Amino acid sequence: MGVHERREQRFSRLVEDHADALHRYLRNRLSGGDGIDAQDVLADVLLIAWQRLDDIPPDAEAPWLFGVARNRLMNAHSKRSRRSAISRRIRPHGPSSPAEDVALADLGLRAALDALPDPEREALLLTAWEGLSPTQLAVALGVSVNAAAIRLSRAKSMLLDQLHDDSERPESSGTLARDTR
């Protein structure tokens, strides 16, 4: 078997093993109204994986791919923010979007997650939703294992504090916050 065939086989296996988890990761981080499609970002991630197939560590494929997906998401959000800033300047001001556009998922948890700084939120979501170990998290974030563990610990603490603060507000149900303490 030639080099090209081995390369195609490795890429096919990589897609088979990791595409669903990557798509889930992307979907969990994108809201429907932000104009960014998880399928498009996944296609970008897989294109980069194909182009840099020889750079992907065989023992850390998932963390490497999550790191690329994270970077592509940050790029997509930056582009979206720039476009929004430009369109706000040229678009006439009108009423805000209707309440039906607001997601009705667990707003308390979403608000608490959104209140976290980006690095802490990402560390928490990669471990909680994607099941990455601290070592894999370090690879995905491009930091040392110690730095990843510290960031994760700080993220958990900050999330619990945020949920606890929300549970003390009378307008918040706070059931999740009370259950996690």
Name residues whose C-beta falls within 8 Å of residue 179's C-beta, 6 or more positions apart in sequence: none
Q: What is the pLDDT of residues 106-144, one digit of tens each?
A: 567 777 888 889 889 889 888 888 888 889 999 989 999
pLDDT of residue 56: 95
Mean pLDDT of all residues in 80-97: 54
Mean pLDDT, residues 56-78: 90
Tokens 């110690």: give the residue.
Answer: 146
Asked whether the beta carbons of 10 and 50 are under 8 A apart, the reply is no
User: The dihedral of CA 76, 79, 82, 87: what is its sign?
Assistant: negative
* Domains present along the chain, CATH in parentheses: 1-104 (1.10.1740), 105-181 (1.10.10.10)
Cα-based distances in Å from 129 to 21, 78, 112, 113, 125: 10, 23, 16, 13, 5
pLDDT: which is higher, 32 or 23: 23
Question: Taking the model in full, what pTM does it have?
Answer: 0.55
What is the pLDDT confidence band of residue 19, given thresholds at 50, 70 and 90? very high
Helix axes 134-141, 118-128, angle to 10 degrees: 140
